[in-house]
Chains A and B, each alone.
Chain A
Amino acid sequence: MADDVLLDVRGLSVDYVTDNGNARAVNNVSLQIRPGETLGLAGESGCGKSTLAFAISNLHAAPALVSEGQILFEGRDVLAMSDKELRDFRWNKASMVFQSAMNALNPVITIGEQIIDVILAHKTVTRSEAWARGEELLDTVGIHPSRMKSYAHQLSGGMRQRVVIAIALALRPKLIIMDEPTTALDVVVEREIMDELYSLKEEYGFAILFISHDLSLMGEIADRIGIMYAGRLVEIGAAADVLERPDHPYTKGLVRSFPTIHGPKVRLEGIPGHPPNLLELGAGCPFGERCANRIARCDAQVPALEALGGKRVACHSPEREEAIA
Chain B
Amino acid sequence: MNMSDTPKVPSKLEVEDLVIDFRTGGSLFNPSILRAVSEVSFELTTGQALAIVGESGSGKSTVARALCRLYTPSAGQVRLDGVDVNAAETSASQRDYARDVQMIFQDPFGSLNPVHTIRHHLKRPVKIHNPGLNADEVEARVIELIERVGLSPAKQTADKFPYELSGGQKQRVAIARALAVGARYILADEPISMLDVSIRLGILNLMDDMKRDGIGFMYITHDIATARYFAERTAVMYVGHMVEWGDSDTVTQNPQHPYTQLLISAVPEAGRSGRRELKAKKGDIPVRTPESVGCPFAGRCLQAREECHTAMPPVTKLAEDHFVRCFLFDQDTEN
Contact = CB atoms under 8 A, between A and B. Distances in A.
Given A195-B276, A254-B197, A216 B270 contact: yes
A240 B252 CA distance: 25
Size category of the A interface is 35 or more
A239 B196 CA distance: 21
Interface in B212-251: 222-226, 228-229, 249
B253 A257 contact: no
Contact of A257 (B197, B273, B278): B197
A262 B224 CA distance: 11
B93 interface: no
Nearest to A261: B225
Contact of B274 (A198, A213, A215): A198
Interface in A153-202: 156-157, 186-192, 194-195, 198-199
Given A186-B56, A188-B278, A192-B282, A259 B269 contact: no
B325 to A, nearest CB: 19
A44 interface: yes
Given A218-B270, A259-B225, A274-B199, A267 B276 contact: no
Given A188-B278, A198-B275, A219-B270, A269 B201 contact: yes
Given A192-B282, A260-B225, A274-B169, A220 B270 contact: yes
B200 interface: yes
A275 interface: yes
Contacts of A136: none
B202 A268 contact: no
B198 A44 contact: yes
Interface residues of B, number: 43
A262 B269 contact: yes
Contact of A254 (B169, B198, B262): B198
A44 B268 contact: no
A113 interface: no
Given A192-B282, A274-B166, A216 B268 contact: yes
Interface in A49-93: none
A213 B253 CA distance: 25
B275 A270 contact: no
B56 A270 contact: no
B308 to A, nearest CB: 19
Given A265-B229, A267-B205, A275-B196, A216 B269 contact: yes
B273 A221 contact: yes
Contact of A188 (B228, B229, B252, B266): B266
Nearest to A191: B266
Contacts of B264: 261
A261 B253 CA distance: 8
Interface string A93-129: 0000000000000000000000000000000000000
Nearest to B248: A265
A272 B202 contact: yes
A145 interface: no
A229 to B, nearest CB: 10
A193 to B, nearest CB: 11
Nearest to B58: A186
Given A188-B266, A220-B270, A243-B271, A253 B222 contact: no
B284 interface: yes
A291 interface: no
A198 B284 CA distance: 22
Contacts of B17: none
A264 to B, nearest CB: 11
15 contacts: A142-B282, A188-B263, A190-B268, A191-B276, A191-B278, A192-B282, A216-B268, A219-B271, A220-B274, A254-B198, A257-B198, A259-B226, A262-B253, A268-B229, A270-B198
A-B pairs, 3 with minimum CB distance = A219-B270, A270-B201, A259-B229
Interface of B: 55-56, 166, 168-169, 196-202, 205, 222-226, 228-229, 249, 252-253, 262-278, 280, 282, 284
Interface of A: 44-45, 142, 156-157, 186-192, 194-195, 198-199, 213-221, 239-240, 243-244, 253-254, 257-262, 265, 267-272, 274-275
